[in-house]
């Protein structure tokens, strides 16, 4: 979902609805054909230096406020559980769409506490299914308490310097990649794809795997 279209969609359909994709679908990746630059993926210009030296870096740019990111999450989660040892995967919340500052802090608080796997989909569910938009830090802490997380500890992490530093770093990454929509996947700072560009969630991860292999061979 891009910055410009989000507000219009929110006004017409509500946060949890997605009547039509906001991406231009290039078509699914055919099994017999390699993904094509300019169709299933794009080249990042200029390249962005990876934040995980020594590994092949895969970044998923997302927003908890984005319904497309919510729909993509189960596929990403399943893919991430099967990562080879030479791949480093990181989610990066983006500094646009609704309530981005609090939602970015939410993600990095969960990461700091080792709770991303436990809470990631529950945050998406709260916003897009239960229509609890988590507008204030107190709303976010209440969601954590509802799911067995120590709310006081979460609040302390949420307001910490380390989380603020992570948010600043994420803003710089989003700017470096010139992002204007999510979800988006970047590989080794050189290529980017998305479910819309690749033709679907599974296709996006297949393109990601192809780009990981290209990064291995320095192609």
For 151-187, what is each residue's pLDDT tens digit? 999 999 999 999 999 999 999 999 999 998 999 999 9
Percentages helix, strand, coil for the chain (3-state, rounded to 5) are 50, 10, 40
Predicted pLDDT of residue 7: 45
Could you report the per-residue pLDDT of 55-64, keeping only the tens digit for each? 999 999 999 9
Could you report the per-residue pLDDT of 8-37, keeping only the tens digit for each? 444 433 443 333 333 333 444 444 589 999
Domain spans, the chain: 3-216
pTM passes above 0.95:
no
Assess whether pLDDT exceeds 80 at residue 210. yes
* Better pLDDT: 181 or 51: 181
Q: Which CATH class is domain 3-216?
A: alpha beta
Predicted pLDDT of residue 76: 98
- Percentage of the chain lying above the pLDDT 70 cut: 86
């Amino acid at each position: 979902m891009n910055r410009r279209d989000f507000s219009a969609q929110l006004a017409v359909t509500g946060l949890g609805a997605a009547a039509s994709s906001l991406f231009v679908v290039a078509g699914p990746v055919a099994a017999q054909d390699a993904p094509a630059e300019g169709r299933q993926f794009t080249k990042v210009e200029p390249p962005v230096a990876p934040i995980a030296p020594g590994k092949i870096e895969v970044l998923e740019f997302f927003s908890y406020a984005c319904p497309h990111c919510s729909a993509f999450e189960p596929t990403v989660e399943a893919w991430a559980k099967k990562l080879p040892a030479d791949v480093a995967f990181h989610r990066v919340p983006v500094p646009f769409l609704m309530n981005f500052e609090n939602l970015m802090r939410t993600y990095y608080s969960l990461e700091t506490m080792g709770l991303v796997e436990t809470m990631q989909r529950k945050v998406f569910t709260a916003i897009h299914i239960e229509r609890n938009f988590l507008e204030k830090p107190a709303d976010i802490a209440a969601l954590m308490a509802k799911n067995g997380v120590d709310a006081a500890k979460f609040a302390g992490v949420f307001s910490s310097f380390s989380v603020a530093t992570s948010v600043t770093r994420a803003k710089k990454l989003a700017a470096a990649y010139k992002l204007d929509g999510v979800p988006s996947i970047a590989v080794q700072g050189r290529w980017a794809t998305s479910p819309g560009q690749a033709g679907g969630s599974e296709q996006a991860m297949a393109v990601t795997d192809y780009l990981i292999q290209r990064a291995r061979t320095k192609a």
